[in-house]
Chains A and B, each alone.
Chain A
Amino acid sequence: MSKLYFTEDHEWINVDGSDAIVGISDYAQQALGDIVFVEIPEEGRALAKGDEAAVVESVKAASEVYAPVSGTVVAGNSALEEEPALVNTASQSDGWFFRMQLSDPAELEGLMDEAAYATYIQGLDG
């Protein structure tokens, strides 16, 4: 059974055992506007928690996406190459960025769950 976590930098990570999928939140895609390009990490890349893992671009801005936890990239979402707009239309499903194999699941403890993240972004807009 998978569990969803969020970071303060608006990444989400959906964890199932030591396998996880990472993307950016609906709040983040709204703030960025129309996404025009996503640079996904290559397979096999080792990421430490907080490393720059991907870049997401709108017309006038580029933002780094950080690794929520440490691990190794298993695959990038190649669908984003053809259709970066998936990040806008389905940020928390088809618009995922990459799959990773966690190296230290204990790091998940520092992240927020869905409810905590909802409270967190409410605080940002206030």
Chain B
Amino acid sequence: MNRQGRPTTSGAEQGPTGVVETVSGHQGLALEEPLLYERGSPEMTGVDLPEVPAVTSRLGQMGREGDIGLAGLSEPDTLRHYTRLSRQNYAIDMGVYPLGSCTMKHNPRLNEKMARLPGFTDIHPLQPEETVQGALGLMDMLGHWLKTLTGMPGVALSPKAGAHGELCGLMAIRAALEAKGNARKVVLVPESAHGTNPATAALCGYQVQSIAATSEGRVDLAALKEALNEDVAAVMLTNPNTCGLFERDIINIAEAVHAAGAYFYCDGANFNAIVGKVRPGDLGVDCMHINLHKTFSTPHGGGGPGSGPVVFSEALVPYMPRPLVEWRDGGFTMEETDEDSQSFGRLTAFHGQMGMFVRAMSYMLSHGADGLMQVAEDAVLAANYVMASLSDVMTASYAGPCMHECLFDDRFLKDSNVTTLDFAKAMIDEGFHPMTMYFPLVVHGAMLIEPTETESKKNLDEFITSLRGLVAAATQGDNDRFSAAPYLAPRRRLDETAAARKPILRWSPPPASTTN
């Protein structure tokens, strides 16, 4: 029997308080991970493949010669490499992710399970239509839900992301105007717009003209009316807008736009604030993209894939892209462009982001019409609660109530040496993802907070308490805490200037040794 006891407390009176220099470079659970090319080798593979049958090659003279230089990992090392990398990321699954304008809500795993059913993942876009009736049926169902929720008669599912949806909508508008004989020249965009709006307008051959905002953070109706003339093709407006406010004059705006013979494009990035509560069709919108990865919870995946279906008013339905799912002769079919169609054409190969359609449909069916209404209400409630709980110490840019996100600016930091950037980076040390910074551009040092409806009140209270603590520290002059933050992340601040001056965009093998 081993009588030797084991100490259960540290032998030292007091353990080290700072960071310990380690031999390995790791810091306990904070594991450093080399590049794939430093861990792996060209000889290693983590996949067992069957032997290649002996055949006479029919590659012509084009067989590949020489090494590609790829590194391979064993299967265990692959798991370790990517697991270690994953732990250097912040994620919704870890904590509050209040990125305004991005809608970082909970991503239900039922959606993932449904999207992985073999009947959805393992079907080819060019299979005979009779063999994919369930897939076409799901697309039809999604289209029906989106049309009903928006009160719009047409839907195109193929756009691959929000910005692609903008392109889709604006191309339909231009096609409709050209059919009337005049494509017009200008698209009006508010100063607070997402950068994709002007970029999309330019892609459709339009000049962009900016419209001013009122002191209440909304489109200046008088200025808009003044800018409207027969050169204006469309107005692109986000509603609720990027300041988190509902455009009070939206119905008047739509009427004025239509009176000028122009179309009303609504950027639906913020639809999550009004889903089930307000139908954009009732506001006079002509087309709107819907980010399935925002309102309908499909995962952001570290930057995509997104999905951006677009709904259309009656006036634009003839110009929608192809293909469209249609019910014909007792079955679903994909309607492609034909000679007589006024459609502006095809936006992508195949039919859009099926994997995202399944996830969004799983989310919608789970919530139902009643639950989606609750989603909007809770999102708006959460944002107003955060705004009310912080407005005495931080400076809200506009009076409430807000919609699903609340906008602060940096006036509350004016007597400190802390910038919006510093403040945001200090939030990382507190265990939160920073809010959106410096957007929208219409206020100074913007901080846009979108809590979403999936944070509990307890989570919100913890977030609020931390922010109040940071504000107190900033106003009391505790500059060190901010100026070099974050201290506790996998990396300290990164040198973006150096990265841009001498871009290193790939790994390169070290220079060959000259001794061999």
Contacts and interface: CB of A to CB of B under 8 A. Distances in A.
A68 interface: no
Interface residues of A, number: 8
Contacts, number: 13
A59 interface: yes
Nearest to B438: A60
Interface string B476-502: 000000000000000000001100110
Contacts of A85: 501
Contacts of B500: 36-37, 57, 59
A84 interface: yes
A34 interface: yes
A46 B412 CA distance: 49
Interface residues of B, number: 4
Interface in B457-516: 496-497, 500-501
Interface string A37-49: 1000000000000
Interface string A83-120: 01100000000000000000000000000000000000
Interface in A29-73: 34, 36-37, 57-59
A36 B496 CA distance: 9
A58 B501 CA distance: 9
A37 B500 CA distance: 8
Contacts of A36: 497, 500-501
Contacts of A57: 500
A13 to B, nearest CB: 26
Contacts of B501: 36-37, 84-85
Question: Counting chain B CB atoms within 10 Å of each CB, which of A36, A37, A57 scores highest?
Answer: A36
Nearest to A84: B501
A37 B496 CA distance: 13
A84 B500 CA distance: 10
Interface in B403-452: none
Nearest to A36: B500
A85 B496 CA distance: 14
A57 B496 CA distance: 13
A36 B497 CA distance: 6
A34 B501 CA distance: 9
13 contacts: A34-B497, A36-B497, A36-B500, A36-B501, A37-B500, A37-B501, A57-B500, A58-B497, A59-B496, A59-B497, A59-B500, A84-B501, A85-B501
Which A-B residue pairs are the 8 nearest by beta carbons? A36-B500, A34-B497, A59-B496, A36-B501, A59-B500, A59-B497, A36-B497, A84-B501
Given A58-B497, A59-B497, A85-B501, 10 more contacts: A34-B497, A36-B497, A36-B500, A36-B501, A37-B500, A37-B501, A57-B500, A59-B496, A59-B500, A84-B501
